[in-house]
Chain A
Amino acid sequence: MRSFTHFDAYSIEDTCTALGQYKGRAQLKAGGSDLLSILKGDFLPDYPEVIINIKTIPGLDYIKEDGDFLRIGALVRLIEMVRSPLLSHKYSVLVKAAHTVASPQIRNVATLGGNLCQDTRCWYYRYPRSMGGPLQCLRKGSGSCLAVKGDNRYHAIMGGKKCFAVCPSDMAVALACLDGRLIIAGPRGERNVAVADFFYPLGNDLAEDEMITEIEIPARRNPAQQNFLKFTLRKPIDFAIVSVASVISIEKGVCTDARIVLGAVAPFPVRVRAAEELLIGKPVSEEIVMSAADEALAGSKPLSKNAYKVQIAKTLVKRAVMGSTD
Chain B
Amino acid sequence: MTRQEKKFSGSALEGKHHINLTVNGQLYELAIGTGAGKVNPSDTLSFTLRETLGLTGTKVSCDSGACGGCTVIMDGRAVLSCMLLSIECDEKEITTIEGLKNPKTGELDPLQQSFIDHTAFQCGFCTPGMIMSSKALLNDNPSPTEEEVKEALSGNFCRCISHYQIVRAVMAVSGKGK
Measured CB to CB, the residues of A under 8 A from B are: 1-10, 13-15, 17-18, 21, 29, 32-33, 36-37, 39-41, 51-53, 55, 79, 102-106, 108-109, 235-237
- CA A51 to CA B44, docked complex, whole Å: 14
List which B81-109 residues lie within 8 A (CB) of chain A: 82-85, 87-88
Partner of B87, one of A6, A9, A52: A6
Are the CB atoms of A3 and B79 closer together than 8 Å?
Answer: no
- Asked if A7 and B68 sit within 8 Å, CB to CB, the answer is no
Q: Are B13 and A36 in contact (CB under 8 A)?
A: no
Chain B contributes a number of interface residues (CB within 8 A of A) equal to 38
B residues near A51, Cβ cutoff 8 Å: 41, 85
Q: How far is the CB of B1 from chain A (nearest CB, A)?
A: 11
In this complex, which of B10, B40, B42, B66 has the most chain A Cβ atoms within 10 angstroms of its Cβ? B42
- Complex: A18 Cα to B13 Cα, angstroms: 8
Most chain B CB within 10 A, of A8, A51, A105, is at A105
- Contact among B9, B83, B88, B133 for A55, CB-based, below 8 A: B88
Complex Cα spacing A50 to B154, Å = 34
- Residue positions of B touching A, CB distance < 8 A: 3, 6, 8-16, 34, 40-42, 44, 63-66, 68, 71, 77-80, 82-85, 87-88, 133, 151-152, 154-156
Minimal Cβ-Cβ distance residue in B for A1: B42
- Which among A2, A21, A53, A235 is the interface contact of B8 at CB below 8 angstroms? A21
Question: A-B contact count, CB below 8 Å?
Answer: 110
Interchain CB contact under 8 A, B8 and A6: no
Partner of B11, one of A18, A33, A104: A18
Known: A32-B85, A105-B79. A6 touches B154 (CB 8 A): no
Chain A nearest CB, measured from B81 CB (Å): 10
Distance between Cα atoms of A4 and B44 in the complex (Å): 13
Contact B80 A105 (CB under 8 A): yes
Output the nearest chain B residue to A77 by Cβ-Cβ distance. Answer: B77
- Which of B15, B16, B80: most chain A Cβ within 10 A? B80
The answer to whether A14 and B12 have CB atoms under 8 Å apart is yes
Q: Assess A7 versus B14: contact at CB under 8 Å? Given A55-B88, A104-B152, A104-B155.
A: yes
B12→A104 contact, CB < 8 A: no
Is the pair A106, B11 in contact by a Cβ cutoff of 8 Å?
Answer: no
B88 touches A105 (CB 8 A): no
Most buried by A among B12, B40, B64, B65: B65
Q: Is the CB of A237 within 8 A of B42?
A: no
User: In this complex, what residue of B is CB-closest to A103?
Assistant: B155
- 13 contacts across the A-B interface (CB closer than 8 A): A3-B40, A6-B41, A14-B11, A15-B11, A17-B9, A18-B8, A21-B9, A36-B44, A41-B64, A53-B85, A102-B65, A104-B133, A237-B155
